[in-house]
Amino acid sequence: MTDTQVTLAQIDNYGPWTTTPAPRREPDLQALQASLYADLAEQVGAHDGYVFYTRFDNMVAVTNGLDRAAHERIQETVRNRYPVTLSLSVAAERTPAAALSTASAQLQAAGSAQDVDRREVLAGAVDADAGPVEIAHFDVVDATEKYTDGTGAYETFLRIEEGYAALARHLHATHDALAFFVGGDNVIAVCPRLDPAAYAGAMDHVREETGLDLRVGVGRGPTACDAGLAAKQRLEECREDQVRVGVPATVSGD
Amino acid sequence: MTDTQVTLAQIDNYGPWTTTPAPRREPDLQALQASLYADLAEQVGAHDGYVFYTRFDNMVAVTNGLDRAAHERIQETVRNRYPVTLSLSVAAERTPAAALSTASAQLQAAGSAQDVDRREVLAGAVDADAGPVEIAHFDVVDATEKYTDGTGAYETFLRIEEGYAALARHLHATHDALAFFVGGDNVIAVCPRLDPAAYAGAMDHVREETGLDLRVGVGRGPTACDAGLAAKQRLEECREDQVRVGVPATVSGD
Amino acid sequence: MTDTQVTLAQIDNYGPWTTTPAPRREPDLQALQASLYADLAEQVGAHDGYVFYTRFDNMVAVTNGLDRAAHERIQETVRNRYPVTLSLSVAAERTPAAALSTASAQLQAAGSAQDVDRREVLAGAVDADAGPVEIAHFDVVDATEKYTDGTGAYETFLRIEEGYAALARHLHATHDALAFFVGGDNVIAVCPRLDPAAYAGAMDHVREETGLDLRVGVGRGPTACDAGLAAKQRLEECREDQVRVGVPATVSGD
Amino acid sequence: MTDTQVTLAQIDNYGPWTTTPAPRREPDLQALQASLYADLAEQVGAHDGYVFYTRFDNMVAVTNGLDRAAHERIQETVRNRYPVTLSLSVAAERTPAAALSTASAQLQAAGSAQDVDRREVLAGAVDADAGPVEIAHFDVVDATEKYTDGTGAYETFLRIEEGYAALARHLHATHDALAFFVGGDNVIAVCPRLDPAAYAGAMDHVREETGLDLRVGVGRGPTACDAGLAAKQRLEECREDQVRVGVPATVSGD
């Protein structure tokens, strides 16, 4: 029984390409990376999956609901629209972290990220029965008042990065979850089924380590979009009700 | 005398927009943020500036060479192509961090990031004489062999994030510099004039704190693109020559 | 029994928006229109449909295979990423032209294109059983040699436009088909089931009227992409075999 | 003395690329072409030029104000962000049509559009003193009421195409101007200095040939954007004042 299907997307031989025959203009590289990510977000999103930009040359997607043909189509579109190609490795496991580990190992087995002969690998197998997905959407309590409007933009940025890093390490080490910063003061975590105490504990940890106060809404569903939208709605309710953790009613029971 | 002109770009009232009237689909928000950033990278890049995505709703640009009209044009294009608008605050100071602090304070003085009546502010003044810019381009020694091809994608990601965070905090606290992760294993820092020992010290600090081995190429020029391209070329030379720090020949003397 | 499902996409109140409060910069409008079209092409394409840019503020899509939820998703994405909104009207009929007429009438019944209160209409009903689609992909014999490499770019452009217009009028008037210029020297027509003589006749007509020599590959399938890809493959065969019309083997029989 | 600087942009070896090794998915090709055009519109627009999509694989730009470095930068960005490359040919002449003819001949002299060895040509010479540019912005009187809201979308589309074609042929043959459809019911023409009677005559011709009633605003300026914005403002005045031709006050005198 598996819960989360994860796909690791890696641009083939990207590092060498960026400096061949000479270093390419940074604004073009930034635009290339961001456009490619935007297109992947929509393509994976068309099947209700989520993609996280991560390191841009390596991106992580939650792909419950995407079959092999959908993965091949993404590779085809990238090949047709970009000067680079994409390898994908998909794995479904009991926890998000286990799935990504498997996906990583599969891709490494197929060749190096800088192997010129390794192009457009599609490693691993989809699992049409994987699910449900659990998504936790975190944000910072009073981020705008306390930080954006009050301190320097860089101090705020470092502060939120620190809080994100503390959360990510804790969730990964303790719960085999994968957390990603998604802009603003928002972090999205793909989690195995966790109870409210686990979420509260993670936020306590972040507060102790960095002083940041978080809030979280949790959702569950057949796809990342279903789970994520439920999480976002619950987060809105938490904000209104001044509650720290919003979880599906059935979390403890089902 | 000022060296670095920095522009803080902030999407007006973005947080509330993302949840009004109900939380918007995450893939659309991710695509919106990334597309907006890609377009800014090219628009600022057309005048040889650099933009860093930072928190996406707050972006930081190095804008030596961009006059007031170029800033207004960027605001106009965003208004014409996106469902959101952009406020900008520009400042030139002796150090990058000082410039961003001034820019932050100017924007905060103009109203809250979530003030519905604060739209398309253009705060501060450009300084046509600001310069030269110093850009340091860092990467990780043997990142592909040691990390991407060898460990799980998430562990690698956290590892590089940690190294980046350590570097950013050190450069900011010690040298008033601004460092940004730009994808892969690359970090770009906008610095005041630093000598080779300062760069070596920063990398020693990162190694002690996180175990990551960095390398850096440094460039200087009238614009971020000029300085940044020189930095990237020097980084390539460092890679070939197995050297840790590549700085302009004149760094100690001029 | 219906063959072609067509969706008319219309930007709501676009004309007035482009001049309010004052005429907007043309490069921004062009970039907006083209980006919106590119995104629609991929979104409709994710479900194997085709979109034609037509007048850009009014676009025509072949949407066999797209259900109502897919249409709503497209409207949602446009609302989330662009400063404009989109109304859609869908109809399935025996012929492409009949379907587009029905779609047009439905949208007109819902309000004017410049009615500020008509926003995001989704008119009409999808027909999950519509099909098969017939796609004809035309190009110009020896276009590069005779035109692109030989005459002025504007003369070539007018020449190909003329040929396209003659083809479009003939196919529409005689066969209730919809033809669209898609770049280069390519025209794609969505047709009811036509026999080889009909295609030959259309090309004879274009030659007589404009002197342009065309070639066509025809495909049929459950979706526009299936039919269109078969048409393109057949067109390649025609090019190699120096044949004017390539139709599915079963065209006359099934 | 030259007025208009025109740049012909041609995707290198595009036709063969679209079918190698097999025909590529049409939605990807459409998205590629439209994205490339959108990016060019913004890049040329950053220097106040206009680009017209024309055949997409061959585009025409009015580039008064763009120097050689700006042209090279555009080629560089395309190479860095797309799977195709771009050749450019620039010419400044007394009339727009003459400039485009020269540009076409220069590019043809450099090799075929389908020559695999002809890549990223930059032919011709910029003329920093070219100008002023004259832009005429036409639209259809009561287009929404008479056509969009009243007849089928395809009939309207063909109607407007016909009107555009008649206008383009007349302006080209009679006045050495270049006219381009730019979406909706809008046509932009790049003209040599014409008097009001010439514009009135062109619109009379279109009415006689196709029954379409046009209106035009004309502007003049150092760049296409300057001239084009003045033209659009004058067109708005014509609309309000129910006048057919709006020209700069100095048209007959200066």
Least CA distance to B74: which residue of chain C? C28
pLDDT higher than threshold 80 for residue B169: yes
Residue among D81, D82, D84, D120 with most chain A CBs within 10 A, to mutate: D81
**Average pLDDT of span A23-41:** 98
pLDDT (tens digit per residue) in A112-165? 999 999 999 999 999 999 999 999 999 999 888 888 888 999 999 999 999 999
Q: How far apart are CA A206 and CA A216, in angstroms?
A: 13
Chain C partners within 8 Å of B35 (Cβ): 81
CB proximity B29 to C under 8 Å: yes
Least CA distance to D49: which residue of chain C? C27
pLDDT (tens digit per residue) in C161-207? 999 999 999 999 999 999 999 999 999 999 999 999 999 999 999 99
Chain A partners within 8 Å of C73 (Cβ): 46
CB proximity D84 to C under 8 Å: no
Amino acid at C109: A
What's the pLDDT at C250? 58
What's the pLDDT at A250? 59
pLDDT higher than threshold 60 for residue A253: no
Structure confidence at residue C252 as a pLDDT band (50, 70, 90): very low
The beta strands (E) that lie in chain C are given as: 4-11, 50-52, 58-62, 86-93, 122-124, 133-140, 178-181, 186-191, 214-221, 245-246
Q: How far apart are CA B103 and CA B8, in angstroms?
A: 6
* Of D153, B3, B183, nearest in space to A35 by CA: B183
The two three-digit tokens of residue D134, written as one number? 């004259």
pLDDT (tens digit per residue) in B21-71? 999 999 999 999 999 999 999 999 999 999 999 999 999 999 999 999 999
Least CA distance to B18: which residue of chain C? C80
**Average pLDDT of span A178-188:** 97
Q: Annotate B4-53 with DSSP letters as a single string.
A: EEEEEEEETTHHHHHTSSSPPPHHHHHHHHHHHHHHHHHHHHTTT-EEE-
- Write phi, then psi, for B189 (nearest 5 degrees): -120, 135
CB proximity B16 to A under 8 Å: no
| Minimum-distance CB partner of D82 among A25, A76, A83 | A83
Structure confidence at residue D145 as a pLDDT band (50, 70, 90): confident
What's the pLDDT at B39? 98
Q: How far apart are CA C243 and CA C246, in angstroms?
A: 7
pLDDT (tens digit per residue) in B110-152? 999 999 999 999 999 999 999 999 999 999 998 888 888 889 9
- Provide the mean pLDDT of chain C: 95
pLDDT (tens digit per residue) in B215-254? 999 999 999 999 999 999 999 999 999 999 999 875 443 3
Of the listed ranges C47-51, D112-116, D213-217, the least confidently predicted one is: D112-116
pLDDT above 90 as % of chain D = 91
CB C74 within 8 A of CB C88: yes
Chain D partners within 8 Å of B48 (Cβ): none
pLDDT (tens digit per residue) in D61-94? 999 999 999 999 999 999 999 999 999 999 999 9
- Provide the mean pLDDT of chain B: 95
Q: How far apart are CA A122 and CA A107, in angstroms?
A: 8
Chain B partners within 8 Å of C32 (Cβ): 80-81
> Residue A240, SS3?
helix
What's the pLDDT at C145? 87
CA contacts within 13 A on the Cβ side of C170: 19
What's the pLDDT at D250? 59
Query: Are C32 and B77 inside 8 Å of each other by CB?
Result: no
Query: Are B81 and C82 inside 8 Å of each other by CB?
Result: yes
Residue among C52, C55, C155 with most chain D CBs within 10 A, to mutate: C55
pLDDT (tens digit per residue) in A84-106? 999 999 999 999 999 999 999 99
What's the pLDDT at B250? 59
> B216 forms bridges with which residues in the sheet?
B138, B245
Structure confidence at residue D2 as a pLDDT band (50, 70, 90): confident
Q: How far apart are CA A145 and CA B120, in angstroms?
A: 20
pLDDT (tens digit per residue) in D148-181? 888 999 999 999 999 999 999 999 999 999 999 9
CA distances from A251 to A220, A238, C236 (A): 9, 16, 57
How deeply is B247 buried, as exposed, middle or buried, from its count of CB atoms within 10 A (0-12, 13-18, 19+)? buried
Q: Annotate B167-236 with DSSP letters as a single string.
A: HHHHHHHHH--EEEE-STTEEEEEESS--HHHHHHHHHHHHHHH---EEEEEEEESSHHHHHHHHHHHHH
CB C25 within 8 A of CB B77: yes
What's the pLDDT at A2? 80
Q: How far apart are CA D63 and CA B131, in angstroms?
A: 30
Residue among A42, A74, A232 with most chain C CBs within 10 A, to mutate: A42
What's the pLDDT at C253? 36
pLDDT higher than threshold 90 for residue D20: yes
Least CA distance to A69: which residue of chain C? C46
- Provide the mean pLDDT of chain D: 95
Distance of CA C95 to the CA centre of its chain: 14
Q: Is the pTM higher than 0.90? A: yes
Cα-atom radius of gyration of chain D, to the nearest Å? 19
Q: Which helix (H) or strand (E) holds C29?
A: helix C26-45
CB D244 within 8 A of CB D200: yes
Interface of D with C in 127-186 (CB under 8 A): 144-145, 148-154, 156-158, 160-162, 165, 168-169, 172, 178, 182-185
* Of C6, C154, C12, nearest in space to C75 by CA: C12
Cβ neighbors of A79 (< 8 A, separation 6 or more) are A85, A86, A120, D83
CB proximity B4 to A under 8 Å: no
Interface of A with B in 222-241 (CB under 8 A): 225, 228-229, 232-233, 235-236
Query: Are B233 and A22 inside 8 Å of each other by CB?
Result: yes
Q: How far apart are CA B101 and CA A157, in angstroms?
A: 12
CA contacts within 13 A on the Cβ side of C20: 9
Count interface pairs A-B at CB distance under 8 A: 229
Residue among C36, C39, C42, C74 with most chain A CBs within 10 A, to mutate: C42
Query: Are A35 and D81 inside 8 Å of each other by CB?
Result: yes
Distance from CA of A92 to the nearest CA of D (A): 29
CB C102 within 8 A of CB C136: no
What's the pLDDT at D254? 39
- Write phi, then psi, for C156 (nearest 5 degrees): -60, -45
Give the neighbours of chain D: at least 3 Cβ pairs within 8 Å. A, B, C
pLDDT (tens digit per residue) in C130-171? 999 999 999 999 888 888 888 999 999 999 999 999 999 999
What's the pLDDT at D253? 36
Phi-psi region of A111 (alpha: psi -120 to 50; beta: other; left: phi over 0): left
pLDDT (tens digit per residue) in A46-81? 999 999 999 999 999 999 999 999 999 999 999 999
Chain D partners within 8 Å of C156 (Cβ): 55, 58
What's the pLDDT at B2? 80
